[in-house]
Amino acid sequence: MSIIVTPLRRRLVMAVLLALACAGGVIRYQAPDPSTLRDVGTLLLVLWLPAVGNLVAYLIRKIPARKPPPSAFPPGAPFAAQLSARIDTVEPPAGWLAALDPSEQRCTVLVGRRGFTVRSASPLSQWLAEAPQTLALECLVPSAALRQLVPGTAFHLLVGTTPVAQGCVVEQVGGR
């Protein structure tokens, strides 16, 4: 039979541990210095550690979580270019371009091990056929992306997990 942990039982166990730790403190204070009773008091006194750990975990859970970063561009938001990049497409897998959603504008700029979601003004299927070219891109989280995507930065462009282009940042167009 398993014991189900509930908040009430957790508080009860914490209260018992703290009571035993207090009893250990009293025993330790009253027992003669080199004695077994003093050692038992010391062991009981150590029981406050899990209770404090539990209290700290409780307080950390009460701290409000940060707002997660956006995962998609707002629907209907106008395109605002922030980067100008020179791109050259790479050969996609056979049949991949035909399976691509014709209205898809989002892709990922990969710099080293960091990826940034961006979108272009025109659908991917249009500009993938016309490379090399200079492309205007808008970053989903410009505060993070524009620090890494300075002029001259080389990158790879992915759609999902498929590499579709490689390029270099020409300039930062929009404000931060």
> What tens digit of pLDDT does each residue of 68-97 get?
888 888 888 899 999 999 999 888 888 888
As a whole number, mean pLDDT of residues 53-81 equals 87
Confidence of residue 150 (pLDDT cuts 50, 70, 90): very high
- Domain membership flag for residue 99: yes
Q: Identify whether 70 is part of a domain.
A: no
Q: Are 54 and 88 members of one domain?
A: no
Q: What is the pLDDT confidence band of residue 174, given thresholds at 50, 70 and 90? A: low
Please tell me whether residues 103 and 134 are part of one structural domain. Answer: yes
Residue 84 is predicted with a pLDDT of 93
What H or E segment, with its residue span, contains residue 15? helix 7-30
Domain annotation covers residue 125? yes
Q: Are 111 and 151 in contact (CB under 8 A)?
A: no
Evaluate whether residue 153 is within a structural domain. yes
CA 93 – CA 67 distance, rounded (Å): 37
Predicted pLDDT of residue 5 = 79
**H or E element, residue 70:** none
pTM: 0.63
Are 97 and 158 within one domain? yes
Cα separation values, 19 from 6, 26, 41, 52, 57, Å: 20, 11, 12, 13, 20
105 plus 166 within the same structural domain: yes
Residue spans of beta strands (DSSP E) within 5-132:
83-89, 106-111, 114-120
Domain with 166 in it: what CATH number? 2.40.30.10
Tell me the C-alpha distance between 38 and 32, whole Å: 7
Provide the number of structural domains found in the chain. 2
pLDDT of residue 175: 54
Confidence at residue 111, expressed as pLDDT on a 0 to 100 scale: 94
How wide is the angle at C-alpha 146 spanned by C-alphas 142 and 148, nearest 5°? 130
Shared domain check, 91 and 38: no
In a domain, 1, yes or no: no
Task: Map tokens 């003004």 to a residue.
Answer: 121
- 90 and 167 part of one domain: yes
The residues that bridge with 134 in the sheet, in sequence order, are: 86
Residues 111, 149 within the same domain:
yes
- 136 pLDDT band, cuts 50/70/90, is very high
Band (39; pLDDT cuts 50, 70, 90)? very high
Is 80 exceeded by the pLDDT of residue 130?
A: no
**Domain identity same for 90 and 149:** yes
Q: How far apart are CA 41 and CA 34, in angstroms?
A: 12
Domain coverage including residue 115: 83-172
Q: What is the pLDDT of residue 46?
A: 87
In a shared domain, residues 58 and 109: no
Supply the mean pLDDT for the chain.
Answer: 88
100 and 152 part of one domain: yes
| 91 vs 171, more confident | 171
